[in-house]
Amino acid sequence: MQALTNLWRAVFSDEPFSASRNFLICAIFYLVFGMLFGLIASLLMYSPDLIHGIPQLAFGRLRPAHINTVLIGWLSMGYVSCMYYIVPVLAGRKSLWSERLGNITLFLWNLTVFVGVYSILNGYTEGREYAELNGPFDWLVLGALLLVGLNVYMTIFTGTEKKWYVSLWYFMGALFWFPIVYVIGNRAFVQFTGLNDAIAGWFYGHNILGMWFTVGGVGILYYLLPRFSGNPLYSHTLSMIGFWTIGMFYAPTGTHHILQSPVPEWLKAIAVISSVFLLIPVLTVQVNFFMTLKGKWHLMADHIPMRFAMAAGLAYLLTCMQGPFQATRSINWYLHFSNWVVGHAHLALLATFSFIVFAASYFIIPKITGRKIYSRSLAIWHFWLSFIGWIVMMLSLTIAGLIQAAGWHFTLPYDQWVMEMVPYFIVRTVSGFLLIAGQVLYMLNIYKTVFSKSAEPLPESPTGIAYV
């Protein structure tokens, strides 16, 4: 009975910033379990007979469960947590337009992820990459997105600050574009057949990255960099050029995933050209990143959240150099059907956008709770296990991808080159253990900070360097 009472209070709480805190706590739970699904799937890549008689743990179910848990559960909920803290602060309000609505949205989001992933593990899936959730769950995801958008927009419109900082533009853009992308890319709303279905599928598959994770992540980074460094953002104009050019060039790029299919040539050409033009918003972000941090790189030695943000910025540079490069036709033809692409995806979603949420959480949770992070040592271990883990994973997948691409290109017998990839798959599993160890420490640290009664009070620290 007491548990039900506590759940009722949590769902309908109107405590300032409670929705931000609760979204992050749940997101970390999905981070650990999502990575565990990925780790088990990596074992099956070279030991396919490891698990018998448990259909829920077959590779074909684990991989989509891993993807949906980390994308919809961890990273999307982490983004909402950051927005629910940053937006009221920048809009000049003491809390969200409705904290209660934020917590109700959290309840719906948890229901969607938990039951949705459970259904995927039991074979109830749409069978389309990155859009595996079936019809009823698509409606729930869309409903939750619209509720988040309503809360964020109303917080901004009812705030006292009328000159909006660039992060607010990025958040409004992400929450305007993502529901549209979601509707076009999921069969619960729009149904195509044949090649048109493939085009719509990759419009969604690539734009969930571009119009949601990229736009939202850059918005969070633009908030954090001035906070951490004490320097103002180098150029507001550049940041707005980046915002509008992302909107202009990202949408048509999805077809570069199906360049080897009989899609109309003009559509392929637009996708490739738009992919190359994405270098414009990338350069605006990078110039702002490096120039805002000018003279403050030494802070990285002691400022743990800033260390995560800097690693994310450098990973973003690598991601965005790779993207246009591998979207060009000849390179795409050589690399596309290989593990190189898997490495590229982890570079973006793990090393860039997850690290941005890590950086934000180590700054936001102390602000919300009024306590220092429980353990600085655990935060340092979290950084190094995550940092080394993604580098090892990236290198192993990239090398395995080059071996695989060469095998396809020279039409070598499959059983010759696939055995050459096994050592790199084993190394990838090792990197998975490092990453999960880091995230378990992260979960422990954040949970102890939030729930421990003996946590250390928060010192005065405008840049947040003393919070961890």
CA distance 294 to 285: 14
- Extended beta strands in 219-310, E state: none
- Tens digits of residue pLDDT in 382-428: 999 999 999 999 999 999 999 999 999 998 988 888 899 999 999 99
Burial of residue 461, with CB atoms counted within 10 A of its CB: 0-12 exposed, 13-18 middle, 19 or more buried: middle
Q: In whole angstroms, how far apart are CA 444 and each of 83, 206, 287, 437, 466?
A: 23, 33, 36, 11, 20
Is residue 96 within 8 Å of residue 19, measured between CB atoms?
yes
pTM, rounded to two decimals: 0.94
CA distance 397 to 38: 14
CA distance 450 to 23: 13
- Tens digits of residue pLDDT in 153-191: 999 999 999 899 999 999 999 999 999 999 998 988 988
- Extended beta strands in 285-358, E state: none
- Tens digits of residue pLDDT in 294-321: 998 888 889 999 999 999 999 999 998 8
User: Of 105, 168, 158, 114, whose CA–CA distance to 137 is shortest?
Assistant: 114
Is residue 401 within 8 Å of residue 340, measured between CB atoms?
yes
Pair of tokens at residue 425: 């798959």
Amino acid at 401: G
| Tally of helices (H runs) and strands (E runs) in the chain | 18, 0
Judge whether residue 29 has pLDDT over 90. yes
Torsion sign, CA atoms 293, 242, 271, 189: positive
Is residue 439 within 8 Å of residue 28, measured between CB atoms?
yes
- Tens digits of residue pLDDT in 63-109: 999 999 999 999 999 999 999 999 999 999 999 999 999 999 999 99
Q: Is 371 left (phi over 0), alpha (psi -120 to 50) or beta?
A: beta
Residues in contact with 68: Cβ distance below 8 Å, sequence separation at least 6, in sequence order: 113, 116, 117, 120, 132, 133
CA distance 59 to 51: 10
Residues in contact with 213: Cβ distance below 8 Å, sequence separation at least 6, in sequence order: 75, 79, 348, 349, 353
For residue 49, the 8-state DSSP code is T
Pair of tokens at residue 216: 């939202």
pLDDT at 1: 66
- Tens digits of residue pLDDT in 215-269: 999 999 999 999 999 999 999 999 999 999 988 888 888 888 888 889 899 999 9
- Tens digits of residue pLDDT in 320-377: 888 888 888 889 889 988 999 999 999 999 999 999 999 999 999 999 999 999 999 9
Residues in contact with 259: Cβ distance below 8 Å, sequence separation at least 6, in sequence order: 268, 271, 272, 329, 332, 333, 336
